[in-house]
């Protein structure tokens, strides 16, 4: 047996104390990691550990129950495909993070022979498994994945598979057709442009007809979205940018067809194909989205897929959607109450931390209403549903008619400009035509009108926004600020007020600080750690970590009173850990600290108090100072006002700091700011901010793990990048300036082209050169200028 070389867990890389978990000379931090190693070892799959050092992730101790997957109704909704032999199941596994994960998940068939094949998508963190359903149930498969440390996240939103099948396949096919026609028609246009010898002229008509043939699929297939969009816009008496584009495309084709058929010229077939091709590429760039992030999440991805309904003597798992008023539900430890319900039996201690931001569990007695979204801590309870899931206190926030429709359109620069563009374009064209009619040259009049509509076609303008914004988007992405779409960048630049949530937004939930006041010798410290190790409460887990005892001694006579404390006997001493009321500490001796507190009592003697506080995010004061000049800053918190003094000193004097705000209060506050003409950006993290995030002009969900739940929003900000917020806001404003400048450039090109067009002397060659030249200028300018702005704000460094 080799010597243990490192004091880190072989599986997950976490620190290992004097570990008792050891196999084949490898140390493990916990039983979970060790058992994964043993499972893999049994199937000769240690290769897993070759692809990455410590490829595993530590698993939470409390395993999720998957018995609901045995219900055919639920399983049927989750699988992609099922016949009498095979089932195909796709699931989202958040812990996928390295090449070893891909290797293991694609070699599942070696662990479980019933698996036919499995395919991993690294970016989407998804696995598609095909398995023989006669030999393995869906539950068996999910439990296998959970056992090897890859527990799938199964939520209601997966059941519905909403928006997961988003595909750009249609657009890509259109680009392919346009590109194909563009290349071929360019080739066929070269003889025309370079001039042909007399004997070659016999082919000219053939080349022209070929060109016309190539522009036909571009007009009818690739360009159809522009006509559809222009038509819709006209029906609403509005002019979007697609109106002049569709007009340009149509005029290009009509004039080409007329010139070719009448034999008077070569037409503009190659310009037409090139125009549509570049426009579609711009549209493709703009539609780029993050497949691995969801901005449309709502309560359904937080709620469980199934609940246990009590039926007579027995119980059964039912899908959430089937819950009816009057149903009796069994809520076990750590399960979520899915609908507003009355407590029927048991001691309820409900953790509403996700809903309200308040970390203390709330005690409920029989007959009290428990609002949906709370998590039961402690023994199982029985509740009776009083409202349907969709009508519950919390879920109504999403269905609130006052909130903005989620598929809203931001007012973008190109939309604003196009209001004026089309009338100006038509005016110039008609004026040129009228001039030549008056001069007695009707042939030239038509040439001038069509030339104006062709040359002024706002191709460069249509491309300036997509290319600028998508460059900006990828720079934000590099800094772990994920915006929903390109239009959101422009929206961010208009913001003039910022409203913060406190817990989880200004303070960092991951780095809790423990403070101990009192006197605790090492022997007692071990006792406290042992008592707390048996508890599931977040505070207990923090205390265990704080105590730093790796192998706690056995605990006897253990009692946990949910929401109050624990009571146990360790090495002959009675240990009690809990809140002030539980221990019996009077108000005056209670420490006046902030955050959650737990008192320690050993053999009837109070030994001290541990308080846990969430520290502010690093650099908070500097962030607020940087923002205070340009933005109105406010705070709405669901928490109590105990930290008001600290915050008051951080925030500017005119800031409005509100505490004890219900979710609805937050939303109403944002609305009142908007009614005063403010453009409000809300920063929040929890489900309790969801209404406010939706109401705000721009909602940013701050999250320390971007793959975990975050409410519906316009952008997700990684907690580690929080201090870059002022720079993000300034960068967004610069990006909008870049769009304005590139618009100026495209107008210059248009003016040059127009001067030829009104004279009626525009040649096909001129159009064929000017159009791609202006397009490429715009693409290069916007990309370079946007990156220059990013460099100015120091946003180009690699990920921290």
Partner 1 sequence: MSVIFFLIGCSVLIALIFLGAFFWANLTGQHEDTYTPSIRILFDDEPDGGLPPPTEADNPRAGGKK
- Which spans of this chain sit near partner 1 (rule: CB under 8 A)? 2, 5-6, 10, 24, 26, 41, 44-47, 49-53, 97-99, 102-103, 106, 120-124, 167, 169, 172-173, 176-177, 180, 183-184, 187-188, 199-200, 203, 206, 210
Residue 129 or 341: which CB sits closer to partner 1? 129
What SS3 class is residue 175? helix
User: Shortest approach of partner 1 to residue 126 CB, angstroms?
Assistant: 9
Closest separation in Å from C-beta 222 to partner 1: 12
Q: Which is nearer to partner 1, 213 or 250 (CB)?
A: 213
- Paired with 514 in beta bridges are 612
Q: Closer to partner 1 at the Cβ: 106 or 143?
A: 106
Residue closer to partner 1 by CB (options 181, 530) is 181
Backbone angles phi, psi at 554, to 5 degrees: -70, 150
Distance between start and end Cα atoms, the chain: 40
Question: Which ranges of 52-152 does DSSP label H, i.e. alpha helix?
Answer: 72-78, 99-106, 108-111, 138-147
Shortest spacing between CB 49 and partner 1, in angstroms: 5
Among residues 273, 276, 252, 267, which one has the least CA distance to residue 208?
267
Residue 50 or 648 with smaller CB distance to partner 1: 50
The C-alpha atoms of residue 219 and residue 277 are separated, in whole angstroms, by 11
CA distance 105 to 91: 12
Can you state the percent helix, strand and coil of the chain, rounding each to 5? Answer: 50, 20, 35
Distance of alpha carbon 328 from alpha carbon 347, whole angstroms? 16
The pair of structure tokens assigned to 203 is: 């082919």
Provide the minimum distance between the beta carbon of 410 and partner 1 in the complex, in angstroms, as a whole number.
28
**Minimum CB–partner distance for residue 183 and partner 1 (Å):** 7
Q: Kindly state the helix (H) or strand (E) to which residue 328 belongs, with its residue range.
A: strand 328-331
Tokens matching residue 601: 């009592």
Residue 760: CB minimum distance to partner 1, A: 33
The HSE-up count of residue 359 (CA atoms within 13 Å, CB side) is: 19
CB of 3 to partner 1, least distance (A): 10
Q: How far is CA 619 from CA 384, 507, 702, in A?
A: 47, 11, 16
Q: Which is nearer to partner 1, 266 or 383 (CB)?
A: 266
- Shortest Cβ distance from residue 188 to partner 1 (Å)? 8
Least Cβ distance, residue 53 to partner 1 (angstroms): 5
Query: What's the closest the beta carbon of residue 168 comes to partner 1, in angstroms?
Result: 9
Q: Which is nearer to partner 1, 206 or 231 (CB)?
A: 206
* Dihedral class, residue 710 (left if φ above 0, else alpha if ψ from -120 to 50, else beta): beta
Residue closer to partner 1, measured from CB, 210 or 305: 210
Both tokens assigned to 101: 């994960």
Distance CA 741, CA 465 (A): 11
Nearest distance, CB of residue 199 and partner 1, angstroms: 8
Q: What span, in angstroms and rounded, lies between the C-alpha atoms of 623 and 617?
A: 10
Comparing CB distances to partner 1, the nearer of 221 and 258 is 221
- One DSSP character per residue, 719-771 reads GGGGGGHHHHHHHHHHHHHHHHHHHHHHHHHHHHHHHHHHTT---HHHHHHHH
Residue with tokens 């253990």: 558
Least distance in angstroms from the C-beta of 277 to partner 1: 13
Closer by beta carbon to partner 1, 96 or else 141 = 96
Q: What's the rounded Cα separation, in Å, for the pair 262 and 244?
A: 26
Complex with partner 1: residue 91 or 385, whichever CB lies closer: 91
Residue with Cβ nearer partner 1 (110 or 228)? 110
Question: Rounded to the nearest whole angstrom, what is the least distance from the CB of residue 8 to partner 1 in the complex?
Answer: 9
Smallest separation, CB 463 to partner 1 (Å): 23
Q: What is d(CA 699, CA 728) in angstroms, rounded to the nearest whole number? A: 14
Residue nearer to partner 1 on the CB measure, 99 or 517: 99
How near is the Cβ of 46 to partner 1 at its closest, in Å? 4
Beta carbon nearer to partner 1, 277 or 546: 277
Angle between helices 204-217 and 269-286 (to 10 degrees): 30
CB of 39 to partner 1, least distance (A): 14
CB closer to partner 1 out of 164 and 783: 164
- Strands 656-658 and 632-636, how do they pair? parallel
- Whole-angstrom distance, CA of residue 289 vs CA of residue 166: 10
Residue 561 Rama label (left phi>0; alpha psi -120 to 50; beta): beta
Q: Which of residues 174 and 525 has its CB atom nearest to partner 1 in the complex?
A: 174
Residues 660, 636 contacting (CB under 8 angstroms): no
Long-range contacts of residues 358-363, Cβ cutoff 8 Å, at least 24 apart? 358/638, 358/639, 358/640, 359/503, 359/538, 359/595, 359/596, 360/563, 360/596, 361/537, 361/562, 361/563, 362/563, 363/562, 363/563
């Amino acid at each position: 047996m080799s010597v243990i070389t490192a004091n880190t867990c072989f599986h997950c890389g976490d620190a290992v104390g004097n570990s008792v978990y050891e196999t084949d000379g490898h140390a493990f931090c916990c039983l979970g990691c060790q058992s994964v190693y043993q499972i893999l070892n049994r199937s000769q799959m240690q290769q897993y550990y070759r692809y990455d050092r410590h490829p595993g992730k530590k698993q939470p101790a409390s395993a999720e129950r998957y018995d609901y997957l045995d219900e055919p109704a639920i399983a049927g909704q989750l699988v992609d495909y099922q016949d009498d032999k095979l089932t195909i199941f796709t699931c989202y596994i958040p812990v996928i993070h390295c090449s070893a994960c891909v290797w293991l998940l694609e070699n599942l068939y070696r662990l479980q022979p019933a698996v036919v094949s499995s395919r991993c998508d690294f970016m989407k963190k998804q696995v598609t498994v095909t398995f023989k359903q006669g030999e393995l149930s869906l539950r068996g498969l999910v439990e296998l994945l959970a056992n090897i440390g890859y527990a799938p996240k199964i939520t209601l939103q997966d059941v519905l598979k909403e928006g997961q099948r988003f595909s750009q396949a249609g657009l890509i096919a259109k680009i392919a057709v346009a590109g194909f026609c563009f290349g071929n028609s360019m080739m066929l246009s070269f003889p025309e442009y370079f001039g042909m010898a007399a004997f070659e002229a016999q082919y000219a008509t053939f080349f022209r007809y070929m060109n016309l043939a190539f522009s036909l699929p571009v007009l009818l297939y690739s360009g159809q979205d522009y006509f559809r969009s222009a038509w819709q816009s006209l029906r609403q008496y509005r002019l979007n940018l697609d109106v002049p584009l569709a007009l340009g495309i149509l005029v290009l084709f009509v004039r080409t067809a007329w010139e070719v058929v009448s034999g008077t010229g070569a037409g503009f077939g190659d310009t037409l194909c090139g125009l549509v091709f570049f426009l579609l590429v711009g549209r493709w760039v703009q539609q780029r989205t993050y497949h691995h992030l969801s901005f449309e999440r709502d309560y359904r991805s937080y709620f469980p897929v199934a609940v246990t309904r009590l039926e007579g003597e027995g119980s059964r798992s039912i899908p959430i959607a089937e819950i009816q008023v009057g149903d009796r539900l069994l809520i076990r430890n750590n399960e979520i109450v899915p609908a507003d319900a009355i407590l029927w039996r048991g001691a309820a201690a409900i953790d509403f931390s996700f809903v309200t931001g308040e970390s203390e569990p709330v005690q409920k007695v029989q007959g009290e209403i428990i609002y949906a979204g709370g998590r039961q801590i402690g023994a199982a309870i029985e509740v009776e549903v009083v409202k349907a899931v969709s009508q519950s206190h919390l879920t109504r926030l999403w269905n609130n008619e006052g909130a903005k429709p989620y598929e809203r359109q931001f007012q973008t620069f190109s939309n604003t400009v196009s209001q004026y563009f089309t009338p100006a374009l038509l005016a110039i064209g008609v004026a040129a035509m009228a001039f030549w009619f008056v001069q007695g040259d009707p042939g030239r009049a038509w040439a001038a009108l069509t030339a104006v509509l062709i040359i002024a076609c706002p191709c460069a303008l249509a491309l300036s926004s997509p290319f600028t914004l998508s460059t900006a988007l990828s720079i934000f992405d590099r800094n772990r600020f994920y915006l929903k779409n390109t239009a959101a960048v422009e929206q961010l630049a208009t913001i003039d007020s910022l409203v913060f949530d406190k817990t989880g937004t200004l303070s960092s939930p991951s780095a809790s600080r423990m403070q101990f006041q009192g006197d605790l010798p090492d022997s007692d410290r071990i006792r406290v750690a042992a008592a707390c190790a048996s508890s599931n409460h977040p505070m207990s887990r923090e205390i265990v970590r704080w105590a730093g005892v790796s192998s706690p001694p056995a605990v006897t006579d253990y009692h946990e009173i949910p929401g109050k404390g624990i009571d146990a006997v360790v090495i002959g001493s009675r240990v009690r850990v809990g809140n002030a009321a539980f221990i019996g500490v009077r108000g005056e001796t209670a420490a006046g600290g902030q955050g959650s507190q737990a008192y320690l009592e050993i053999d009837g003697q109070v030994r001290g108090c541990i308080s846990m506080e969430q520290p502010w995010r690093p650099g908070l004061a500097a962030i607020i100072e940087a923002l205070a000049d340009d933005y109105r800053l406010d705070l709405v918190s669901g928490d109590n006002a105990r930290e008001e003094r600290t915050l008051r000193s951080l925030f500017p004097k005119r800031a409005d700091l509100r505490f004890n705000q219900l979710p609805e209060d937050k939303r109403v506050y944002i609305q009142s700011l908007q009614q005063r003409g403010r453009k409000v950006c809300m920063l929040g993290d929890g489900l309790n901010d969801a209404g406010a995030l939706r109401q705000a002009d721009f909602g940013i969900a701050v999250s320390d793990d971007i793959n975990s739940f975050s409410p519906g929003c316009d952008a997700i900000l990684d907690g580690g990048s929080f201090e870059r917020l002022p720079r993000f806001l300034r960068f967004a404003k610069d990006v909008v300036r870049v769009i304005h400048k590139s618009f100026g450039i495209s107008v210059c090109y248009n003016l040059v082209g127009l001067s030829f067009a009104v004279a009626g002397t525009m040649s096909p060659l001129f159009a064929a050169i000017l159009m791609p030249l202006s397009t490429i200028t715009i693409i290069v300018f916007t990309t370079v200028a946007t990156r220059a702005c990013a460099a100015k704000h120091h946003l180009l460094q690699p990920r921290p």
